[in-house]
Amino acid sequence: MDRFHSFEKVTSGKDEIYAKKQNNDFFKQARMNSKPEKCIICGKATTRLCNSHSVPKMILKNIAENGKLMQANGLMGSNVVDIEKGVNNSGTFQFICQECDGSWFRTYENLDNLKAKEITDKMLSEIALKNVLLLLSKRNVEREVIHKGSELGVIIGAETAFETQNLDVRDYRNEMDLYLSIDEKSSNCFQVLFHNVLPYVTPIAVQTALVIQKDLEGTVINDIYNYSPDVRIQNMHISVFPLEDTTIVIMFYHRRDKNYRRLLHQFNCISDERKLAYINYWIFKYTENYFFAPSVKKVISDNPKLVQLSREYNELPNLGLVNPMIMNKYEPVKIDDIPNMLSPEYAVSKNR
């Protein structure tokens, strides 16, 4: 979870259809205004940015049904945004030029490379680069949302939000430069906590950077409430790539992010089954950048604990918008309270 709340509900309307149109128009304008005039990687001025997929399109196709995927919004309780989209429009962002999109992610977006037993630093750097570009793109959009929301009176404390956002952008740009510097000759840049090929197709696809706040024993890893300029929030990267018959799961961080060392040792002491349970838990707890097959919509949306977890913010309900009187009474969702969508039980049928 980053340092911001979700801005999915800054607009409202008289009914669901009107609200959905109003909300979509609001964010469409914010996205248009947030597009950079230059590619953030190569610096070339461009009028046409690439429609990049945060999860590779070739991955999303494997769990789509009739070309459609379910979005995280469905779990988060938003009835004013689309919860089902086509593969072409799922998880897309416009932040870099066509040339950079076509050249910087060629290694990991190659199926033969993904299926290889060894995963190289170059592949991991490309995954991490895509993740941090998405974060930077989201910050640009959020800046426009904050500005417009402040004008409309639905967002307060804009100056504080901008200050916090600037710290995040500083750190993301630093990460971007770090990942861009890694090439085919680089080695030992990343620490992999988990890399496995599951012999079945999971109903969920994920590629994301997320901030794990506590380790397996409850010790703080990242203090997200510390807004000091000297504090750098450290990202973990998780990918769940369902293929035609198998699923590749990868979890890693850059070795400079030493806050995760204790978690690494803890992870090495538990079974693969338990590792998958934690990865599943962190996906729903800390990120929105996941997509799932329509066939499991009922399994997911009818599970109250999973819905509850997806709407938690810093272990508080309702995206953190809660009466202070009940804050201490709330019981955060635990790992064993939710279904593990990475387990064989929920595998997507080959004959779907």
Sign for the pseudo-dihedral over CA of 98, 99, 104, 110: positive
Domains in the chain: boundaries: 16-346
Give the DSSP letter of residue 83.
S
How far is CA 314 from its chain centroid? 16
Identify the pLDDT of residue 143. Answer: 84
Counted residue by residue, the chain has a size of 352
Whole-angstrom distance, CA of residue 1 vs CA of residue 119: 26
CA dihedral 282→288→291→295, nearest 10 degrees, is: 80
Identify the pLDDT of residue 22. Answer: 61
How far is CA 7 from each of CA 76, 154, 335, 336, rounded to the nearest angstrom? Answer: 12, 11, 26, 29
- Mean pLDDT in order along the chain per 10 residues (352 residues): 46 53 64 82 90 97 95 65 83 94 96 95 98 95 80 70 88 98 97 98 98 97 92 97 97 98 98 98 94 91 89 75 68 95 91 53
| Cβ-based neighbours of 153, under 8 Å, separated by 6 or more | none
